[in-house]
Structure 1
Amino acid sequence: MTLEILTADILTPLRHGFFTRKGGASSGVFAGLNCGQGSSDLSEVVAINRSRVAGAMGVEPEALVSVRQTHSADVAVAPFDDRPEADAIVTATPGLVLTILTADCQPVLFADVEAGVIGAAHAGWRGALDGVLEATLEAMESLGAQRENTAAVIGPTISQRAYEVGPEFLDAFLAEDPAYSRFFAGGEGDRMLFDLPAFGLHRLREAGIGQAQWTRHCTYSDPDRFYSYRRTTHAGEADYGRLISTIRL
């Protein structure tokens, strides 16, 4: 099966992609293109999957740059020697492929084509609330980018209809800004439904970015194409695959 790579016009002409799970070598609950080195999948199979991604991006696997994601607002500037703990990466170095792994959280790819600066962020609810998207823009600016010339695309992520949360989750957002109530809809009982991609777009636009959009793919609702942590949890499965999103100069 061939790889399926979702792209966005506002990131062209840069080579980039939100890879689905199609076209991979993994099997079982990981069936497809599992690129999660931290999963319990066979390491040699994950390496095959990552090699296929590298080939699609026109580089050797060693050019795939990643960080140890921790749901923080920390940003790393590539190249770096040891893989740091961070949830976003920026670079102005041609030939490096920035990569982010997700399985419901937002993968966000950034580019200021004119300045030759790119970024990639892992933005779950905690990272987005703590400012990882704004921190990515600031780090890109330190390399010469201008946020008004920067485009960002949110890739496949969990949509509002599948993201049920409790009252303590809502309280965390209202404590930051009562206006954030608009990103929540009523669910059953005391449950609420949270619109993560709408929140991500709001934070990007409030930060003054030039263009921002979501690909409108829900990870939870399309098991044939996407891995989902929440869907795996609901199904009682032991582990889950990780989707990879990439961009290069």
Structure 2
Amino acid sequence: MFLEAPELRPFPAIRHAFFTREGGVSEGIFASLNGGLGSGDAPERVGENRARMCAHLGVPEGRLVSLYQVHSAEVVTVEAPYALAERPKADAMVTRVPGLALGIATADCGPILFADPDNRVVGAAHAGWKGALGGVVAATVSAMEALGAERGRIVAVLGPTIAQGSYEVGPDFIERFGREAPAGARFLAPGTRPGHAQFDLPGFILERLGEAGIARAASLGLCTYADPDRFYSFRRTTHRGEPDYGRLISAICLTP
């Protein structure tokens, strides 16, 4: 049902989980632990799935906060839960409020969980290629610092993300990436078609984490596309011609 990062597990002040698609009540293409508020799944099933996530994290139902994600570098500071219709349009959250779980939804993009356990500040970010390129990692670290975190004490872990071998990109992507990240050519390998390339999104995110100067950055090293039993994948769904897909939730919170 969930994965934990060895880098975050030792801290008693932190609870976290990279939830898989296992252990829920959704059916069909959403089977089974779909946490996606924006998916076409039955809302009552998504609600039950998210309640199970809350139970695992040890927070009351309704204390798992999510965003209206837009592939940006926008970060919000969360002090209390908000209604579904009031979800901020952003791609990262930070808090120092105990018992409030920050939940990022993904289905190939990179979910990053951040923690400064000494200063009791946590964060969560959704890093697709646009967000990673646009600065969501640095923005999240800066927002944590504004709450009292120290970047030299922050630990960050990248959860299940589409791997380079499964992520072919086209000429428009290559041109923009080369223009905005000219030193990033090493994250592009020859593609299977002329003018295309295989993009190493996890590697690029880890570089961004390193550039942010945090204490430690790590990755679970798991590919969403290649493991349909455990993970949802937008790209795999597209290749299969399926009408929709579930969302994985990666969440972190401070203990009371």
TM-score interval, normalised by the smaller of the two chains: over 0.9
Q: Kindly provide the CA deviation profile for residues 191-249 of structure 1, in whole angstroms up to 9, marking residues without a partner as x.
A: 10000000000011011111001101100000000000000000000000000001010
2:99 counterpart (89, 95, 102): 95
TM-score (norm. length: structure 2): 0.94
- Distance in 2 separating the partners of 1:161 and 1:147: 32
Aligned to 1:86: 90
TM-score (norm 1): 0.97
Specify the SS of the correspondent of 2:252: strand
SS in 1 for 2:131: helix
User: What residue number does 1:49 align with?
Assistant: 49
Q: Distance in 2 between matches of 1:72 and 1:190?
A: 27
Instruction: Tell me whether 171-180 or 109-118 shows the greater mean CA deviation.
Output: 171-180
1:64–1:97 Cα contact (<8 Å) kept: yes
CA contact (8 A) 2:133 2:181 kept: no
The within-5 A match list for 1:21-32 is 21-32=21-32
Paired residue for 1:248? 253
- Distance in structure 2 (CA, Å) of the matches to 1:94 and 1:35: 22
Tell me what 1:20 maps to: 20
Counterpart of 1:105 (choices 90, 104, 109) is 109
Stretches of structure 1 lacking an aligned partner (at least 5 in a row): none
1:10 corresponds to: 7
Query: 1:116: which partner in 2?
Result: 120
Deviation at 1:56, TM superposition (A): 0.5
CA displacement at 1:163 relative to structure 2? 0.2
What CA RMSD, in Å, does the superposition of the two structures yield over aligned residues?
0.9
Matched position secondary structure for 1:201: helix
1:227 corresponds to which of 227, 232, 245: 232
Query: CA offsets, 1:100-151, max 9 Å, x none?
Result: 0000000000000001000000000000000001000000000000111101
Q: Does structure 1 residue 217 correspond to structure 2 residue 222?
A: yes
Question: Is contact 1:170–1:181 with CA below 8 Å preserved after alignment?
Answer: no
Give distance in 1, aligned partners of 2:146 and 2:187. Answer: 31
- Secondary structure of 2:67's match? coil
Distance in 2 (CA, whole Å) between partners of 1:179 and 1:170 is 13
Q: For 1:65-76, what aligned pairs fall within 5 Å after superposition?
A: 65-76=65-76
- Which moves more between the two structures, 113-122 or 55-64? 55-64
Rounded Cα–Cα distance in structure 1 between residues aligned with 2:249 and 2:96: 21
SS at match of 2:137: helix
In the aligned structure 1, how far is the partner of 2:126 from the partner of 2:18? 13
Aligned to 1:77: 77
CA distance in structure 2 between the partners assigned to 1:89 and 1:61 by the alignment = 19
Number of residue pairs the alignment of both structures matches? 246
Cα distance in 2 for residues equivalent to 1:240 and 1:216: 22
Residue 198 of structure 1 pairs with residue 198 of structure 2: no
Q: Give the distance between the partners of 1:95 and 1:60, measured in 2 at CA.
A: 8
1:65 CA displacement:
1.2
Paired amino acid for 1:229: F
**Matches of residues 98-177 of structure 1 in structure 2 within 5 Å?**
98-177=102-181
User: Equivalents in 2 of 1:30, 1:245: separation in Å?
Assistant: 17
Distance 1:100 1:177 in 2: 25
Q: 4+ residue stretches of structure 1 with deviation over 4 A?
A: none
Q: Distance in 2 between matches of 1:201 and 1:23?
A: 29
Gaps of 5+ in 2: none
The one-character-per-residue Cα deviations of 1:6-64 (angstroms, maximum 9, x if unpaired) are 11122132110100000010111111100111111001111110010010011112111
